[in-house]
A and B are shown apart, each in its own frame.
Chain A
Amino acid sequence: MKPEQAQTSMRAKLDEELEELRFLKGAEVLNRTHPRSLPAKLRALWNYEIELPLIPVGASFAVLLVILFAAQFEEHTDQGDLAGDTPRADRQLVEAGGNTYWKDDYEKAVKSVEVKDQS
């Protein structure tokens, strides 16, 4: 059997088998694939499937998070700078050589003169 003949016979067979089935929602399908009205257009958009490249999107999300965190952090360090000169009481007083110093300032000063001595 020639291929054309085989095709025709298969076609005939299929037609015969599908004779009972009728596709009635052609209009609906058409409306979906080629929407004409606004709600239909919107619904199409709503259900539109997009393909997102995972790496660029993930990377930009990560960058965004980092920026957000950095902004928060910066806010905090700014305050720190402003408060740098105000007296802090996490400090202890120390009496040395007849003077009263803040302990941390005093230790820093002693260290700095010792460094100077060595150099």
Chain B
Amino acid sequence: MKLKIKVKHLFALVSILCAALILLQLFVMPRIEVSMAKKHFEQGTVGGKEELLRAIDASSGDDKWALIRRYMIENGRDMSMTSFDVIAGDGTFQTGTVTLFPDAPRWTGEEKIKYLEAYVEGGPVNGYLDRAAKQLAFEYLMLGRTEDATRALDRTEQRLSGSYDNQKRELKFTRANIYADTNEPETADRLLNELSERSNRQDTYLTDKIAKLKARIVEQRDDTASSVSGTIKKSDGTLMPGVGVYLRSSRDIYHSLLDSEPYLTLTDSEGNFTFKGVAPGSYVIYIGLNFEQIDGWTRPANNNEEWIDVRGGEQLTRDITLQRLIQLRAPVDQQVITGETVRFEWEPFEGAAYYKLNGTFPVENGSVGFQIKDHIEPNSIELPLETLYGVATGYSYKKFGDKELPDPSNLLGFADSSSRFSWSVEAYDAGGKLLTRSNGYRLNEKTMGHLPFFYLKARTLTDADRLLLEGRMDEALIAYKADYARNDQDHHSLRMIVKLLGINATDKKQPFDAGSLTYLEKLASVDDSGNVLASLIDHYGSVGNWPLVDQYYGMLKDARQGKVESYTQAYYGTLLLKQGRVQEGEAQLRQAQKNDPSNQFIGSYIACVLYLSGDLDQAEELARQYPERSYYDKANPDWSKLVHELAEESRDANDESYFLKLQEALRVGFNGDQARIEDWMAASDNAAMRAFVLELSKVD
């Protein structure tokens, strides 16, 4: 087949084709590319970010500004100190990023700086310009480039014309805020004064913010006020600039971090931070990190162990060093264990005096964690399955029909051969300070390591277990009792009976009866974990059977090799006080206080000291040293104030008998009998003593 064509027609045809191609490349392709880039970016496709950056680079004028606006500014954080990927508190890690395009990739600081700088310099003057400037300033601050931050804000303020008066004021305020944070209070003050002079009275929001910042600057300049400073780094020496640092009051830590909290800052280029003019109180430092910073690392901090008690006029330092996560060795990657023992092994951590082995069970919305074994000195331990079956586990609730019941799988614990378990370790130094842990953020191939899962398939479920798993708790209890009656070596059934009776006692408010107590006591005699002993101490303490309390506490001490949990020890101390054995009670409370950073029993301990020595100065010193924290909005007693008032009252009384009266009052308080306390309160005319005894009776 041949085609006849004249040269001139062929030429025309080729010309048309070329023109079409050029038109396509010049006008159509860029638009297609931009829209493809947008789509890929929004969907988080691989390379979508680079595509969008190229599209931005290739475009110009309004198109370029529109792209930067839509994909960087609208989605960015405006100097919000709290919008980090992970907020790490004292043992808590909260993940949270809410963005306009949830699937879109994130911009790095350098990318944002490049495009926001261009926008701030050349972008259109409208309501987005001040946002761009604030975001640019924030990115600079993250890199410790404070001067660039204030320069960008100043420059944008100049660019904004008269009709953007509010935005100009906002920018000036932001600048003042940065100066206040970076220890240039004079400049901050000058800017705030300029703002106040030209302030719009209707803008009460800004007026309020100006007043607050002015007050903060006054506090900062007060040399007698306390400061808290420190450095955040990684254990390999990596500096951590631009990390969010939040000094959070004990009254705030029960809710998530808010921008309105008073002490929020970012670390400088060397990872240093300072809070000046900190009001007295108890605080915990939380830090804000990006995924890249926390990936494979952890902030070694345990709940209640990070308190900073600010009393006034101190210069406190608190450094934070992130540590590498421990890698687990075995059992990992869903290994199925059918033997009689499990050997746990993990990578050793330099400087660790001992390790704590923890387990987790999956529950519907997360997992339940619990301790398997504490104080393990080597970096491995072989545990018999019986020990694992006896581990005390928490439980969550699960829906069965329209009822919520304790999740049977959690109750069975390691005895549920159908469940997938996981484990973790924590490393501690000789002083009991957490060094690092194995669980945390593992977000890339290198940091992921082995999966911490394993199965225990050595035992088969009994009929009673199956009833339990079906949520038929009462029938399961009967079946377990029958099994145990047939074979008194059946420790599993005995443990399950005790667990189910415990649930009845707490959930259904059915106290242990004589029959139930027999099971508890039998388990106590065969189970060397000591887990059932705390329930027995609690029960016999509540009914006042002191010889049995002493007996079971002795057994618990043996089971724990002398290291009883501080809560149980302090509780035992208060039981001794109840009996009038103040000297012994004081010894227990003193020891428990050493291991209890929450100071929740400090009131009882101070009362013992007062009772035994009458030394009000010593008591007041203790109260200052170990303040009882106030959680939530609940105002906890200020023991130092209560003791101080006692001291004043005793001075005013100037009476030898005051101490005797105080001892009598403390005996009433120790006893805790409500009727007796009320009678005594009605009869006593010492107000400070009444206030003290009232708080003492509430200690728990």
Chain A interface (Cβ within 8 Å of chain B)?
45-55, 57, 76, 79-80, 82-84, 86-91, 93, 95-102, 105, 109-110, 113-114, 116-117
Chain A residue with the shortest CB-CB distance to B325: A99
Nearest chain A residue, comparing its CB with the CB of B51: A79
In angstroms, Cα B676 to Cα A6, docked, is 160
Q: Once bound together, how far apart are the Cα atoms of A50 and B448, in whole Å?
A: 69
Q: Is the CB of B440 within 8 A of A99?
A: yes
Query: Looking at B1, B106, B442, which has the most chain A CB atoms within 10 Å of its CB?
Result: B442
A50 CA to B49 CA, complexed, in Å: 51
Smallest Cβ-Cβ distance to B1: which chain A residue: A54
B179 to chain A, nearest CB (A): 34
A86: chain B residues within 8 A (beta carbon): 49, 105
Chain A residue contacts of B2, Cβ below 8 A = 51-54
Q: Are A55 and B333 in contact, with the CB atoms below 8 A? A: no
Task: Check if B651 is an interface residue, CB within 8 A of chain A.
Answer: no
Q: Are A48 and B7 in contact (CB under 8 A)?
A: yes
Given known pairs A98-B422, A109-B448, A113-B333, the reply for A90 and B44 (CB within 8 Å) is: yes
Task: Write out the residue numbers on chain A whose beta carbons fall within 8 Å of the beta carbon of B626.
Answer: none
Contact B46 A83 (CB under 8 A): yes
In Å, the complex CA distance between A54 and B40 comes to 41
Chain B CB count within 10 A is highest, among A76, A80, A93, A99, for A99
A9–B44 Cα gap in the complex (Å)? 93
Residues of B within 8 A of A79 (CB): 47, 50-51
Check if B419 is an interface residue, CB within 8 A of chain A.
no
B47, B334, B452: the one contacting A98 at CB < 8 Å is: B452
B374 within 8 A of partner (CB) = no
B residues 30-83 near A (Cβ < 8 Å) are 43-51
Residues of B within 8 A of A57 (CB): 3
* Residue from A86, A89, A101, A109 having most chain B Cβ neighbours under 10 A: A89
Q: Say yes or no for B291: interface residue by CB 8 A criterion.
A: yes
A-facing residues in B91-108 (Cβ within 8 Å): 93, 95, 99, 102-106
Q: Which residues of chain A are within 8 angstroms of B7 by Cβ–Cβ distance?
A: 45-50
Complex partner residue of B443 from A50, A52, A102, CB under 8 angstroms: A102
Extra 4 A-B pairs, beta carbons < 8 Å, given A50-B7, A100-B441, A102-B443: A76-B47, A80-B47, A89-B103, A89-B105
Is the beta-carbon distance between A47 and B105 smaller than 8 angstroms?
no
Given A80-B47, A88-B46, A105-B445, A99–B452 Cβ distance below 8 Å?
A: yes
B547 at the interface (CB under 8 A from A): no
- In the complex, the answer to whether B6 meets A117 with C-beta atoms within 8 Å is no
0/1 interface trace, chain B 436-474, chain A, CB 8 Å (1 if under): 001111111100100111000000000000000000000
Scoring B358, B422, B448, B453 by chain A CB atoms within 10 A of each residue's CB, the highest score goes to: B448
- Is the Cβ of A100 less than 8 Å from the Cβ of B443? yes
Complex: A53 Cα to B1 Cα, angstroms: 6
B103-A97 in contact (CB<8A): no
Across the interface, which residues of A come within 8 angstroms of B6, CB to CB? 46-50
What band does the interface of chain B fall in when counting residues whose beta carbon is under 8 Å from A? 35 or more
Instruction: Please give, as numbers and ranges, the residues of chain A lying within 8 Å of B531 by CB-CB distance.
Output: none
Q: Which of A45, A83, A117 sits near B47, CB closer than 8 Å?
A: A83
In the bound assembly, the distance between CA atoms of A45 and B105 in angstroms comes to 59
A80 touches B422 (CB 8 A): no
Q: Looking at the complex, which one of B99, B292, B333, B438 makes contact with A116 (CB distance below 8 Å)?
A: B333
Known: A96-B422, A97-B451. A84 touches B360 (CB 8 A): no
A101 touches B442 (CB 8 A): yes
Distance in Å from the Cβ of B647 to the closest Cβ of chain A? 49
**In the assembled complex, how far is the CB of residue B591 from the closest CB belonging to chain A, in whole angstroms?**
31
Q: State which of B4, B291, B362, B443 has its C-beta within 8 Å of the C-beta of A51.
A: B4
CA distance A93 to B104 in the complex (A): 14
Residue of B whose beta carbon sits closest to that of A68: B21
A82 to B292, CA, bound (A): 18
- B27 smallest CB distance to A (angstroms): 17
Residues of B within 8 A of A89 (CB): 44, 99, 102-106
Contact A52 B5 (CB under 8 A): yes
Known: A98-B452, A113-B334. A51 touches B47 (CB 8 A): no
B408-456 residues with Cβ-Cβ distance < 8 A to A are 422-424, 438-445, 448, 451-453
Please name all residues of chain A whose beta carbon is closer than 8 Å to the beta carbon of B594 when the two chains form the complex: none
5 A-B pairs with CB atoms under 8 Å apart are: A83-B47, A88-B105, A98-B367, A98-B422, A109-B448
Contact of B45 among A51, A90, A101, A114 (CB under 8 A): A90
- Write out the residue numbers on chain A whose beta carbons fall within 8 Å of the beta carbon of B10: 50
> In the bound complex, do residue B439 and residue A99 qualify as a contact, i.e. CB atoms below 8 Å apart?
yes
**Nearest chain B residue, comparing its CB with the CB of A101:** B442
Whole-angstrom distance from the CB of B5 to the nearest CB of chain A? Answer: 6
Question: In the bound complex, what is the Cα–Cα distance between A97 and B333 (angstroms)?
Answer: 11
Residues of A with C-beta under 8 A to B448: 101, 105, 109
Interface centre among A54, A76, A97 (most CB of B within 10 A): A97
Let me know if B162 is at the binding interface, CB within 8 A. no
